[in-house]
Structure 1
Amino acid sequence: MFRRLGGVSVIVAGLAFTPLTSGSALAAPASSEGGTVTTAAATCAFTPNTLVLGADPRAVKFAVPGASDWRVRVPDLEIDARPGFQVKHFEPKKYHNADAGLHQATISKDGESCMARFRLLRPSMLTLVVVHNQPYRYIGGQLVRANYGKGAVRSPMPGARVAIQYRTENGWKTTAHFTTNKKGIFIGRLKSPKRTWRAMLEQTTTTAKSVSRVAADETEYKDTAR
């Protein structure tokens, strides 16, 4: 697929994809479940409290640090873990995309109970190409993320804000942000010297952070229509 910007046709599709595969609690007031209600974050600590779940099933072992008698419940995701039953098997096909995000969790620990949060995230993947047409760099790619349920393994992520970064002596510096269209494609033009580039998506409420491959090489644009 070609996109035309500023009189330059830039390749932004036809990129190779690979399969997408595959934590801090927020305390909240809650009613007691057979024990004293507490809201201290330390009391509500449990692991893991964030899970990045892709296309492959995962077995996750829950725990409440420092407790001998404990229970972790997340009703929305059918999680009910306790000593002897710590492992929860997550099957992506049993969930819906709408299940990604924050879920209320109830933590019981040695006679006390409190409310916390468990986050389920869909993994994402960024591709990146850089085309040079002096003095500009046309930087584009595509953002996709894993799907739950039956059907497509992944789908484009529209409306996402992708950071365009280049490498400096002190690390990576963000120079622009491009927004993905309905096909997950982003593209823009920067007036810049030759640099080493990457694209990055910060973690959202439903989607895990993603960083593209590093693009040190560029495709040189030649206008064959002249």
Structure 2
Amino acid sequence: MTVSAGENPVKRNFSLSGQAPLEAVLFDVDGTLCDSDPLHYYAFREMLQEIGYNGGVPVDQDFFVENIAGKHNDDIARSLFPDWDFERARQFLVDKEAMFRKLASEQLKPVPGLYKLKKWIEDRGLKRAAVTNAPRPNAELMISILGLSDFFQAVILGSECEHAKPFPDPYLKALDLLNVSKDHTIIFEDSVSGIKAGVAAGMPVVGLTTGNPEHILVEAGPAFLIKDYEDPKLWAALEELDTK
């Protein structure tokens, strides 16, 4: 299934109970497993100011959400530095990721309720994968810090697919690797590009409002939104799914 990169996917009102019997759960990483967006924002703000971006005025949170959050680094490089040589722009992102990893190693925390959901998934013997636009060193570091290296059976990177999110390719690859059906799989995401990718791949996406405004996420077409994994809306939906 091919969806143009900026194309708004058709909104679907998915019910999680329609995925019964559940086979697999797919997770984004940044902002979904951990509240990492503040660390990414800090790194971008500091490094962009150092090079005099935006006239030396620090970029704000709205700029970060609109131009950076959830996007693949190659797309961010082209968007932020259209007049730069691409390799120079890409190197800026490499340096920024090194700064992020330093911050993450000191400050990264799981989204509240993550381990409760982890136990729910393990107790039911469900398959699981992490599906991310993050570079592999970032993804593996975050997953390791969170103690989830043995939890995930696969880690799929946007850069290792033909197209990264918001295209559906990474989520379709996850289905293939886990050998599961889109009709029995759910996704957790926190960004517009990630929700679009999941919806385009034909699965219900539960959106987390950890870093992006609700009204922006709703436009991408999630099944519903939650604050974190302790949200009663999530557990009511999982309980309903369990009874099917």
* TM-score tier (shorter): under 0.3
More helix by share: 2
Report which of the two structures shows the higher radius of gyration computed on alpha carbons. Answer: 1
**TM-score, with normalisation over the residues of structure 2?**
0.22
**TM-score, with normalisation over the residues of structure 1?**
0.23
More strand by share: 1
